[in-house]
Amino acid sequence: MSIKLTIAIPTHNRAATVRDTLASIAALALPSDLDADCLVIDNASTDETAAAVDSFARDSRLRMRRVFEPRLGSSFARNRAVDETRSELLFFIDDDAIAEQDWAIRLFDAMQRRSLDVACGMVLPRWLSEPPAWLGTSLWVKLAVHDQRAIASAPAESAERLANYFSANVGFRRSAFERFGKFREDLGVVGGNPISGEDTELFERIIGRGGTMGFAPDAIVHHMIPRERMTRAYLRRKSFAYGVGSAFAGGRNHNRPDKLVKNAIRMIAAMSRGDSERAIYHELECANFFGYWRGRLLKR
């Protein structure tokens, strides 16, 4: 008996890139024991997203459909995907990511072989223009992409950590949502709203309540990184937003005053020796600190 799989793509105003995502999903190699379809959650888009998706769906060999979610926000879109299907498995990919042909097979295999509730795959950067010299691999985590070479050369168990789990490439069993709940809708990016980290909060909740999560390094997607995300200003905003989100999420946090002091000192030291990458890394840690305490004030 085949297992039902839905591949979900939440999207907002990215008609240009979602076409490439859909093309990669339509080209997936799928095992015979998976009955797969694709669900696009059009999250209040005002561009050509609807026409792009509907046109692609008409010619796709893979069953595809689009639903419109009027409540703007990443958590609303993801939870709508959960509510729209009864498939045993739900795989998420971002609307600016391209899946390798064996992505779904690899993610499915990791979940079945290791009896995982949730599996996160490898997210590699696809630079749409030449990245600046300071954007070294220690900063890639701020863009939610992996350093494949570092992961491959490290002990396998070191990859099994929260910092490596990104929602741009993740597979869930439906039972995980039934046991641990869905994405928190008071978290998640909504336009310029500085509250992110809804995926990390869910992953922490699943692990904390006894669920099983794992990293699937062979399940690969390529995340398109445009020039506008390769700026210090963008990375500061993202780090600040993640700090705000961690305050709203609650739980243990490392944003104590000594963190700010340590990172400020390390930033100055890196600047003095001309190490722009490390200086920016510590600058972003300071932005995360200020975001966290801004979130604490907002909660009051």
**Per-residue model confidence (pLDDT) at position 248:** 84
**Per-residue model confidence (pLDDT) at position 156:** 84
**Residue 258 and residue 226 in one domain:** no
**Residue 118 and residue 159 in one domain:** yes
What gap in Å lies between CA 150 and CA 49, rounded to an integer? 36
Q: Are 134 and 160 in contact (CB under 8 A)?
A: no
**Residue 158 and residue 29 in one domain:** yes
Phi and psi torsions of 98, nearest 5°:
-120, 125
Residue where a domain terminates, one of 186, 205, 230: 230
Work out how many domains the chain is built from and give that number.
2
**Per-residue model confidence (pLDDT) at position 197:** 84
In a domain, 106, yes or no: yes
**Residue 190 and residue 222 in one domain:** yes
| Cα distance between the two ends of the chain | 52
**Residue 210 and residue 252 in one domain:** no
- The pTM score is 0.93
In a domain, 235, yes or no: no
Residue where a domain terminates, one of 210, 230, 250: 230
**Per-residue model confidence (pLDDT) at position 265:** 96
In a domain, 77, yes or no: yes
What's the domain range around 196? 3-230
**Residue 193 and residue 262 in one domain:** no
In a domain, 32, yes or no: yes
**Per-residue model confidence (pLDDT) at position 195:** 67
**Per-residue model confidence (pLDDT) at position 250:** 75
Strands of the sheet with 118-127, listed across from one edge:
63-68, 34-42, 3-11, 89-93, 169-173, 118-127, 213-225, 97-99
**Per-residue model confidence (pLDDT) at position 191:** 61
Residue where a domain terminates, one of 200, 230, 260: 230
**Residue 36 and residue 184 in one domain:** yes
In a domain, 269, yes or no: yes
Residuewise pLDDT in 10s, the chain (300 residues) = 789 999 999 999 999 999 999 999 999 999 888 999 999 999 999 999 999 999 999 989 899 999 999 999 999 999 999 999 999 999 999 999 999 999 999 999 999 999 999 999 999 999 999 999 999 999 999 999 999 999 999 998 888 999 899 999 999 999 999 999 999 998 877 765 656 788 999 999 999 999 999 999 999 999 999 999 999 999 999 999 889 888 887 767 778 888 999 999 999 999 999 999 999 999 999 999 999 898 888 877
**Residue 67 and residue 95 in one domain:** yes
**Residue 57 and residue 185 in one domain:** yes
**Residue 209 and residue 255 in one domain:** no
**Per-residue model confidence (pLDDT) at position 260:** 93
Q: How many residues does the chain have?
A: 300
In a domain, 68, yes or no: yes
The CATH number that applies at residue 60 is 3.90.550.10
For 242-291, the DSSP string reads HHHHHHHH-S-----HHHHHHHHHHHHHHHHTT-HHHHHHHHHHHHHHHH
Residue 263 CB neighbours (<10 A): 19
**Residue 119 and residue 253 in one domain:** no
**Residue 254 and residue 148 in one domain:** no
